[in-house]
């Protein structure tokens, strides 16, 4: 049985005051089948991990370097995330791919390094609006899955997040049929490459303007095992209804 996962990506948001939101989130009753992950900015990881210690909430990083150490000013190594208290890391987010020119092979190398350090990777895939309009969505997703995920994937070290780039932070949401088509495709590709034993255990999340108002219907779609949430994860009052909807799905 796949675990459900509600993941919050705080991106470049949050100072010490934001830890109060994490306290409120971790104080809510936990669902035995639903995991919660918050990926705050690196400056808050250690304190965030302390806030959620002895709770069901996990803390993750938003990126890590492919190298284990070295002359990489401003970057953070996987072992550093572990040392700070993180258990997960987001890799290949569309904003990293676009803003920093990350290619599939870069994401793949980072993922292997993260796995070697013991981190669970949330690897993101997704198409742009022009790719969607050109009917290239599944070709793009297939290429990203093949190029970004190392061969040693398991249901324990990998989470895949589908984020249509054109829906992130825009308020636009694909139809349920469009979400289902991509999630079913991702599941099929995972099973084909890694076998049913692994392919059926990797959680696949949907991301892209997930809100309390649309979470229930999104979680009703086949092969949607949770969500990777941006802005709506910054406030416990917004994120908790999404978590509750996932737990009830």
Residues 6+ apart with CB under 8 A from 113: 64, 65, 66, 67, 68, 77, 78
What Rg value do the Cα atoms of the chain yield, rounded? 17
- Exposure b/e, 191-208, CB count within 10 A at least 16 = b: eeebeeebbebbbbbbbb
Choice among 93, 95, 127, 183 that is catalytic: 93
Alpha-carbon distance 166 to 112, whole Å? 28
Active site residue 196: no
Query: Sign of dihedral through CA atoms 160, 166, 171, 174?
Result: negative
Active site residue 23: no
If we measure between CA atoms, which residue out of 202, 203, 196 comes closest to residue 224? 203
CA angle 78, 81, 85 (to 5 degrees): 145
In the chain, the largest separation of any two C-alpha atoms, in whole Å, equals: 48
For residue 29, how many other CB atoms are within 10 A of its CB? Answer: 7
CB 122 within 8 A of CB 149: no
Choice among 21, 88, 163, 183 that is catalytic: 163
The catalytic residue positions are 93, 163
């Amino acid at each position: 049985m796949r675990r459900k996962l509600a993941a919050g990506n705080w991106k470049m948001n949050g100072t010490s005051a934001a830890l109060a939101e994490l306290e409120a989130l971790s104080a809510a009753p936990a669902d035995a089948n639903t995991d919660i992950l918050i990926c705050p900015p690196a400056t808050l990881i250690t304190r965030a991990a302390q806030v959620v210690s002895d709770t069901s909430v996990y803390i993750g990083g938003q990126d890590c370097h492919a190298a284990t150490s070295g002359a990489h000013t401003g970057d953070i190594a996987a072992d550093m995330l572990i040392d700070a208290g993180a258990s997960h890391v987001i890799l290949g987010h569309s904003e990293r791919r676009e803003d920093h020119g990350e290619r599939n092979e870069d994401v793949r190398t980072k993922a292997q390094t993260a796995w070697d350090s013991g981190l669970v990777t949330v690897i993101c895939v997704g198409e742009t609006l022009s790719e969607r309009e050109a009917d290239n969505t599944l070709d793009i997703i297939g290429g990203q899955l093949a190029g970004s995920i190392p061969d040693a994937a398991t249901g324990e070290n990998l989470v895949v997040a589908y984020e249509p780039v054109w829906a992130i932070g825009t308020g636009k949401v694909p139809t349920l049929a469009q979400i289902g088509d991509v999630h079913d495709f991702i599941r099929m590709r995972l099973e084909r490459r890694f076998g049913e034993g692994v392919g059926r255990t990797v959680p696949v999340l949907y991301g892209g303007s997930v809100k309390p108002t649309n979470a229930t219907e999104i979680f009703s779609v086949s092969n949607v095992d949770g969500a990777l949430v941006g802005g709506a994860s910054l406030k416990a009052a917004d994120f908790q209804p999404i978590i509750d909807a996932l737990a009830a799905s």
